[in-house]
Every structure is written in C-alpha cells, then in structure tokens.
Amino acid sequence: QVQLEESGGGLVQAGGSLRLSCAASGNIFSIAAMGWDRQAPGKQRELAATITSGGTTNYADSVKGRFTISRDNAKNTVYLQMNSLKPEDTAVYYCSARITKRSGYTNNYWGQGTQVTVSS
C-alpha cells in the first residue's frame, strides 16, 4: 500500500506565503514525477506544478514566478513554496506521485488534499 500525506495548508493574507509538504510512504520501489494539483470551489482540478526525479520542473502559467516546487528524493517528499499568494490561489491542493511498487507495478497516486485559503 502507498500513502501520500500532505501538510502545510492554512489561511493566509494576500501577498503572504505558505509551504506545502507531501511525504510518500509504504510499498515504494521508486518515484518518478511528483506534483501538485489544485481545485478551487466550482472549478475543475488543474495542474499547478510538477517535478521529475531528475529535478526538471514545470508550472502552470498562473503560478509561474510565484510558486517553487522541489523534492527530497531520500525522504520521498515533495514541497511547494507559494509566495505572493492571491485570493484566486484559494483551493484544495493535492500532491501526486507516479510510484513503482517493489512488485514492479506502477501507478499514479494522490493525497487527500490540504486546504489553502487566501484572504483579500
């Protein structure tokens, strides 16, 4: 079994910062890409940022220049540093990881989500 556990969400004023963390645990042989999706109220889930095992990053245009994704491969953990937050960043943030189990089975996994609320 594989678990992804997010932490670091909360309430912040516009212009502030938050750092999200997500640790993967369980039956893990290797992790390829990791990332963060977000879903705002009444909107579809969208990709915010991704990072490969080699450290190549990709960002949605809406967060580029304000958010930074990073990972610690030794800890199976991915981070999202969010700066200059705007009310439109308010959403539930989900971490994701493409994980290969020791059996060789590979699939995409998501955490339960953490709420980020930005007040104006």
| pLDDT score at 17 | 98
pLDDT, one tens digit per residue, over 14-61 is 999 999 999 999 999 999 999 999 999 999 999 999 999 999 999 999
Tell which residue, 2, 15, 34, 8, has the closest CA to residue 93: 8
pLDDT interval class at 112 (50, 70, 90):
very high
pLDDT interval class at 85 (50, 70, 90):
very high
Provide the percentage of residues in the chain whose pLDDT is more than 70: 100
Query: What distance in Å separates the CA atoms of residue 9 and residue 16, rounded to the nearest whole number?
Result: 13
Q: What is the mean pLDDT of residues 111-115?
A: 97
